[in-house]
Structure 1
Amino acid sequence: MTLEGSLEARVSTDGTGSSAVAFRFTVTNAGPEPIELQFSDAAKAEFVVQNAGQEVWRFTEGRAFMQMLSAERLAPEESTTYDGEWEEPRPGEYTAVAELRAQDASCEARTEFRVPESE
């Protein structure tokens, strides 16, 4: 069973600091029925940074996440938020892609952002 049609997503970033960029990924149940999201580890969302279509950073790369089954229930119109942070970003223009890592549901969102030169 897939729930893509019932989930809406958006991602935002502060995009203003040169020492780190914080990402906020919000997933909303836009359907009329409750949804239960099943996860197999502690990484519930993936954040990828791209420059001109090329991947330059991935949140889960080189990180270990506790293997644990968990679930989150979203009532109709209810949202949940996942956060990530890119430490020591390089200056430039980027696209952030956030993706839900649930076992039986997927959705993603994108946003453009800029990392300024250090002052």
Structure 2
Amino acid sequence: MLDAALATDEGDEGVDLALTVTNEDDDPLTLRFRTGQRADFAAFESAAADAAGDPRRSTAGPVWRHGEGRMFTQALGTETLAPGESATYEGTWPTPPPGVYLIVGTLTAEEHDAEATATVAIG
């Protein structure tokens, strides 16, 4: 089982994002990836939330996605996490417009789901 946490930090270049996944199992866990991309990040306007309060369900979709328009190596890859071991995957949302956003970080491994969210207010 994977645990995930998302850290955000507003810096000079934009919003720095770090998705940390931790192997909470008693056995090693091998993550398999189809490309060089290890995590994806998306930003949703909080004002676009649906009736349940989740902006991810809005028809507007994300205002920014880290992997959109990027090229990643087209090679299979694996990473093995020992019990209790963590891996951190980073990205930056360059120059976001002012507003309040839900940021979603998602691990792109084939057989293991891990996702974490954070809310950021850009002034």
Alignment TM-score, normalising by the size of structure 2: 0.85
**Seq. identity, %:** 39
Query: For the residues of structure 2 that align with 1:40 and 1:99, how far apart are their CA atoms?
Result: 15
| Aligned length, in residue pairs | 110
The residue aligned with 2:3 is: 8
AA aligned opposite 2:18: R
Runs of 4+ in 1 over 4 A off after TM superposition: none
Flag the structure with higher strand content: 1
Q: Which amino acid aligns with 1:90?
A: P
C-alpha RMSD of the superposition: 1.2
Paired position in structure 1 for 2:107: 100
Provide the residue aligned with 2:65 in structure 1.
Answer: 58
> Partner of 1:47: helix, strand, or coil?
strand
| Partner residue, 2:39 | 45
The secondary structure found in structure 2 opposite 1:67 is coil
Secondary structure in 2 matching 1:41:
coil
Specify the alignment match of 1:74 in structure 2. 81
Gaps of 5+ in 1: 1-5
